[in-house]
A and B are shown apart, each in its own frame.
Chain A
Amino acid sequence: MLTIKDLKVSINEKEIISGLSLEIKAGEVHAIMGPNGTGKSTLAWAIAGNEMYNVTGGSITYNGRNLLEMPPEERACDGIFLGFQYPVEIPGVSMANFMRTAINEQRKYRGLDPISSQEFLSRMEENRKLLGIDSKLANRSVNEGFSGGEKKKSEIFQMAMIEPTLAILDETDSGLDIDALKVVANGVNKLRSGKNAIIVITHYQRLLEYIIPDVVHVLYKGRIVKTGGRELALELEQKGYEWLKN
């Protein structure tokens, strides 16, 4: 589904990712771990297509298409979803309006008619219940006045609404208590199928107890330095990141 080859990304002329390669197949869940400032979020931004991040080398292929040639909204319409580490507030725009606009833009891109009100509302209701989100959510402005936990849940809610092919969750677990963590994991596990793939970016092994990854990568200084199975996450938990430096 996603093939990254020798990717180099810099921001403000400073190279953050220096020759990263990654292969993700449909049905897989990959965890990307590593200490702060090693380029985990930069990788997420580069896949999503943030113009601030300059791809200076390498390639990203997504379902056979050159992703780097596509504007961010087209990547989104083609099924790439990014769960933001710091979700953005949009005052005055209700979550219902935001989601409906997003879903209809994506449907238009795929040549589909706009979603019917009934279908939209029942999908909102279903996902809201799944994630245990307050019923006032639909009318609240996007992320405005949300607590840290609410913002993260709202990202997962949006993911559930949009039903992406490839979801990238950028430290969705940070700042969540154990109950919220379970809710987030539920949402992610619901999306999991043979057709989808998920990249979970995290510091801690904790989330991976609920979202069992197929592959774990350790990112350090802009490169993947180690790849393994689930046990790699546990190893990191015990040893910390210090041992990577040697």
Chain B
Amino acid sequence: MDKDPNNILEQVTKNDYKYGFVTDIEMDTAPKGLNEDIIRLISSKKHEPAFLLEFRLKAYRRWLEMTEPTWAHIKHPPIDYQDIIYYAAPKQKSSPKSLDEVDPELLKTFEKLGISLEEQKRLVGVAVDAVFDSVSVKTTFSETLEKLGIIFCSFSEAVQKYPDLVQTYMGSVVPYGDNFFAALNSAVFSDGSFCYVPKGVRCPIELSTYFRINSAKTGQFERTLIIADEGSYVSYMEGCTAPVRDEHQLHAAVVEIIALKDAEVKYSTVQNWFPGDKDGKGGIYNFVTKRGMCKGSHSKISWTQVETGSAITWKYPSVILQGDNSVGEFYSVAVTNHYQQADTGTKMIHIGKNTRSTVISKGISAGHGNNSYRGLVKIIKRATNARNYSQCDSMLLGDQCGAHTFPYINVENQSSIVEHEATTSKISDDQLFYCKQRGINIENAVALIVNGYAREVLKKLPMEFAVEAQKLLSVSLEGSVG
């Protein structure tokens, strides 16, 4: 039995990233680099209406004036934005009408990832939109949803079929000039998912998008827009993986959610982009802007995220609580192992009266990982009786990792109640020995204890995801004993 925790760590961190394969498929790619011509090219490839090209160009021009944010607790070499391919799509003769027309190589990839579209078609419960590099491959279940008036399709399709909805809501929660990465996304986004749930409709199945970066040197810039009309409900899940590559790849997504009066949106993410190898080589730079707007009264938006992948995660799924009595929630588990860095958290902006928000963040750091929680709770003057409860817990495994908490609380209203709790813990030798005495080896003991620590968040995930997330946590942390 090796008693040195660092040796145990060493042994098991050789773990392979099991989604690291590359699909050999013919691609239609744009030349490297970014300029107005590239943006026009993307827009014309997608036969976009004029308003969208306009939106992209405005965003691009704004982006040129902006600089990369430096306030996050992360370190990386400068990103050369001219060395990235901004558009890559699997070559298709025409857009697929049914699964039979989708390239079999692509379908095989999704099968390897455990989300066989073929199976999805039969299984009732989850509708999947799969985004491969930049293009949405096929949305399953659309027909079933159509009967209820629910629109669930790729962003490109929505642009063609429902341009009014897109024009009304796109950029209404995350304006094109919101931040450096959102501006970049607004200029070059190629696809993503779109969802509209009509008045009073409760979406009976979990909607799901699967993102996959395949091509080398390619950035992924997807955009998701979810609109829940009055009194509707939808639960939405998002999963992500990428092949193992030596160089870093950029992922800069934007997700916007709009919840109208009495509507509820639940958004769950299991993010498992390639994290880089154990020496910190390669991995995805994940710079994502996710924000929801509780526009109507009594609306609710809930973010749940399990972040185990990416070399760098920079992401703050937020809620603007505009409607009176609206509710925002953020539940997060973020794991950093090896040389991974995460600066993640949320913003809860209380504008309406009697608005409530809950923040539960569980950080887990192992190896040389650095994990930061950064959160803002803002309560403006007219938001009477607003309430926030935040709990930020950190768990440290090993002695080379770091955990940091940066809470910002900004209260302008006397009647509000804001609570913030934070803890830092380690897995104790006593806990480990207790498990071992029951016959559980050290790796399984760590997995058990970590999953227990994260249970409050994991139980918020839809069933399909919870099991996956638990396994992922165990794999990401095998042997990381402190």
Contact = CB atoms under 8 A, between A and B. Distances in A.
Contacts of B168: none
Interface residues of A, number: 30
A82 B276 CA distance: 42
A56 interface: no
A15 interface: no
A88 B434 contact: yes
B456 interface: yes
A105 B430 CA distance: 19
Contact of A90 (B434, B436, B456): B434
Interface SS of chain B: helix, strand, loop or mixed? helix
A197 B333 CA distance: 45
A98 B448 contact: yes
B448 A101 contact: yes
A102 B435 CA distance: 8
A101 B449 CA distance: 12
Nearest to B1: A71
Interface stretch (B175-183, B192-200, B319-327, B437-445): B437-445
B3 interface: yes
B4 to A, nearest CB: 11
Contacts of B452: 90-93, 141
Interface residues of B, number: 25
A160 interface: no
Contacts of A89: 431
B449 A102 contact: no
Contact of A93 (B3, B430, B448): B448
B438 A102 contact: yes
Contact of B434 (A49, A84, A91, A109): A84
Contact of A105 (B428, B441, B453): B441
B438 A87 contact: no
B9 interface: no
A91 B431 CA distance: 10
A73 B440 contact: yes
B453 A92 contact: yes
B451 interface: yes
A50 B431 contact: no
Contact of A109 (B429, B439, B449): B439
Given A87-B434, A93-B448, A97-B448, A51 B439 contact: no
For the complex of A and B, the 7 pairs showing the least CB-CB separation, nearest first, are A92-B452, A93-B452, A102-B438, A92-B455, A76-B439, A88-B434, A71-B1
